[in-house]
């Protein structure tokens, strides 16, 4: 009887779809997108700023990103991305060209 109960539980779990953890991504052209981590489906969320790169999230849920603010010479700034609308707000206009941001678990963002 025990074997049948286990098989039923496994069959029940296998037929249940688990919700995917949605991800946020940014693109160089200014797009902000949602990515379904289960299916890899991409959905447009909104428009940020041109030259977006290096998206990272701090422990308090703030999404930070770099953006190129001028083309010549290249000047980069730091923006905050609204996870509901995809809009970018320039917070620090003088930054550097970064390729990655990561939270240290204490709310500090490292490049």
pLDDT digits (tens, 9 = 90+) for 41-69: 999 999 999 889 889 998 888 999 998 87
This prediction's pTM? 0.73
Cis preceding-peptide flag for 49 (omega within 30 of 0): no
∠ Cα 83 87 88 (to 5°): 100
pLDDT digits (tens, 9 = 90+) for 72-111: 677 788 999 999 999 999 998 887 778 888 888 887 888 8
């Amino acid at each position: 009887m025990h074997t049948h109960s286990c098989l039923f539980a496994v069959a029940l779990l296998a037929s249940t779809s688990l919700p995917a953890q949605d991800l946020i991504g940014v693109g160089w052209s200014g797009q902000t997108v949602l990515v379904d981590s289960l299916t890899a489906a991409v959905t447009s969320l909104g428009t940020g700023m041109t030259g977006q790169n290096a998206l990272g999230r701090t422990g308090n849920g703030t999404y930070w990103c770099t953006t190129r603010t001028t083309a010549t010479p290249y000047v980069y700034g730091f923006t905050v991305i609204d996870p509901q609308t995809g809009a970018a707000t320039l917070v620090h206009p003088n930054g550097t060209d970064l390729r990655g941001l990561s939270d240290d678990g204490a709310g500090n963002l490292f490049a």
